[in-house]
């Protein structure tokens, strides 16, 4: 039979605030000694009271606005009750019926809009590690601000899901509110998948929990589509359940029957007053939103006459976009040539300065100096004239090389072949042929 996949997505994004959501503990817990970033509040000790993190709430609203959401002026926190040892209070402070942001969307490259139902604020749990027969618990992550972004079941393929996730990751990174580093668990993915034959929504839903890579989310969805197709083809109905992804066997495995909202006995958090915004506060947050990837992409095409694929590459991260614009800004060379050069030469923006790129691109049209003998002479001069840079390089500061290349560039009015100059420089410096490089 032919079924249409119906896929929705819940994404948890950890914010990179300095402190946790409801206490003053440092939220910078990754790789730290277990249970060193804790206090009575995030350990759930009796009598401890939460104080909300203003920045986290503002950043959650900022994410919502960037995702085209409406942000109601009234919002509140609720308790989500469930028992698990990584949740010291026995409940998670989250948001139920009045989240900070509702009704947004992300547009995919084919023009399809994926509707976002809600963006809400909550706190992370502790982290369990199972070793043999023992379970270890680390509460450093307990109470770290977490934003949950929930879509409508608008996806029909794993390809759409992965594109959405990449865009979402890019947006939160452009906003500077999360590193969204999958490997560190900054972004955790929970797709829910079912199949339909008619236009009605299916009567069951299978959720796959806590996946931490785009590749695995794609594989888990593909696996579920296949598994559910087989069940439906037999004339059965897949169970409503929560499954886990096993990345060694590349399968999903049943974990528990899927809970309903009422299982959590949500009720308003009595320890926290509701949140009331003024219109001005919301527009203040809106004004702090930087240029987002889609806008940048459109502007790069219009302002610099780049084609779409060039613009896509040069707006992938804020860092590469800024680097490109910094290189274009002096107006010495054509932006399209700069774009081609950065893309084709796969320039490492952390190693090659934008001045070098300008010189290289300009050099192509105006007689670049690439003669080894001539370059060697200039490099030696640069070394003699810049003892400090040489000493810096010797003490391990790789950046010092940049200063020396800059000096060579200056001597040649930007016409030296920077790559060759770099090679000669490195060779000479490492040989220690020059007085300034001798051990004193
Ligand atoms: Zn704490
Ligand atoms: Mn959640």
Distance 195 CA to ligand 2 centre (A): 24
**Ligand 1 mean position to 86 CA, how many Å?**
14
Instruction: Give the model's pLDDT for residue 323.
Output: 96
Query: Which ligand sits closest to the CA of 29?
Result: 1
Ligand nearest to the CA of 143: 1
Q: Name the closest ligand to CA 35.
A: 1
Report how far ligand 2's centroid is from the alpha carbon of 258 (Å).
14
At residue 55's C-alpha, the angle toward residues 297 and 114, to 5°, is: 40
Query: Of the bound ligands, which one is closest to the alpha carbon of residue 140?
Result: 1
Who surrounds ion ligand 1 at CB < 5 A? 23, 25, 39, 41-42
Q: What is the DSSP string of 194-218?
A: EEESSSSPPS--EEEE-B--HHHHH
Contact 379, 428 (CB under 8 A): yes
CA of 250 to the centre of ligand 1 (A): 37
Closest listed ligand to the CA of 122: 2
Whole-number Å distance, alpha carbon 213 to ligand 1 midpoint, is 29
Q: Which ligand is nearest to the CA of 25?
A: 1
Give average pLDDT by consecutive 10-residue segment, the chain, 440 residues.
Answer: 92 98 97 97 96 98 98 98 94 98 96 98 96 95 98 97 98 98 95 91 91 95 96 93 93 87 92 97 98 96 95 96 94 90 91 88 70 83 88 82 85 77 84 53
Distance CA 77, CA 209 (A): 23
In the chain, domain spans = 4-285, 291-365, 372-431
Which residue matches tokens 């969805």? Answer: 221
- C-beta separation of 293 from 170 below 8 A: yes
Q: Can you name the CATH fold of 372-431?
A: Arc Repressor Mutant, subunit A (1.10.10)
Q: What is the pLDDT of residue 365?
A: 57
pLDDT at site 432: 63
On whether the pTM is more than 0.75, the answer is yes
Predicted local confidence at residue 198, as pLDDT:
82
CA of 44 to the centre of ligand 1 (A): 9
Q: What is the pLDDT of residue 438?
A: 46
Provide the pLDDT for residue 367.
64
């Amino acid at each position: 039979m032919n079924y249409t996949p119906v896929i929705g997505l819940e994404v948890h994004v950890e914010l990179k605030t300095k402190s946790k959501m409801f206490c003053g503990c440092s939220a910078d817990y990754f790789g730290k000694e277990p249970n060193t970033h804790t206090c009575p509040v995030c350990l759930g000790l009796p009598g401890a009271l939460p104080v909300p993190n203003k920045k986290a709430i503002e950043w959650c609203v900022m994410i919502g606005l960037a995702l085209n959401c409406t942000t109601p002026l009234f919002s509140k926190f609720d308790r989500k009750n469930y028992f698990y040892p990584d949740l010291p209070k026995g409940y998670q402070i989250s948001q139920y019926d009045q989240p900070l942001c509702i009704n947004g969307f992300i547009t995919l490259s084919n023009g399809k809009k994926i509707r976002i139902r809600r963006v809400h604020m909550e706190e992370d749990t502790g982290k369990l590690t199972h070793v043999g027969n023992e379970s270890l618990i680390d509460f450093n992550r307990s109470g770290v601000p977490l934003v949950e972004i929930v879509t409508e079941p608008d996806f029909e393929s794993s390809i759409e899901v992965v594109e959405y996730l990449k865009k979402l990751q890019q947006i939160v990174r452009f906003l500077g509110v999360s590193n969204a580093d999958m490997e560190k668990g900054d972004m955790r993915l929970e797709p829910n998948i079912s199949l339909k034959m008619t236009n009605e929504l299916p009567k069951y839903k299978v959720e796959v929990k806590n996946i931490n890579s785009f590749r695995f989310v794609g594989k888990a969805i593909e696996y579920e589509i296949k598994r559910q197709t087989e069940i439906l083809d037999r004339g059965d109905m897949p169970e409503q359940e929560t499954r886990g992804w096993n990345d060694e066997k590349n399968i999903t495995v049943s974990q528990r029957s899927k809970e309903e909202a009422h299982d959590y006995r949500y009720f308003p958090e009595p320890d926290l007053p509701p949140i009331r915004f003024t219109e001005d506060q919301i527009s203040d947050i809106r004004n702090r939103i930087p240029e987002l990837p889609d806008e940048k992409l459109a502007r790069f095409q219009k302002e610099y006459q780049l084609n779409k694929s060039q613009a896509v590459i040069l707006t992938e991260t804020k860092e590469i976009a800024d680097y490109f614009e910094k290189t274009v800004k002096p107006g010495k060379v054509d932006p399209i040539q700069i774009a081609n050069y950065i893309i084709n030469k796969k320039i490492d923006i952390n190693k090659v300065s934008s001045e070098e790129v300008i010189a290289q691109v300009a050099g192509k049209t105006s007689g670049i100096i690439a003669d080894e003998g001539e370059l060697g002479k200039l490099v030696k001069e640069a070394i003699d004239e810049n003892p400090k840079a040489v000493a810096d390089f010797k003490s391990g500061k790789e950046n010092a090389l940049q200063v020396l290349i800059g000096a060579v560039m200056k001597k040649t009015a930007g016409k030296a072949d920077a790559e060759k100059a770099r090679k000669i420089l490195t060779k000479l410096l490492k040989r220690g042929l020059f007085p300034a490089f001798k051990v004193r």
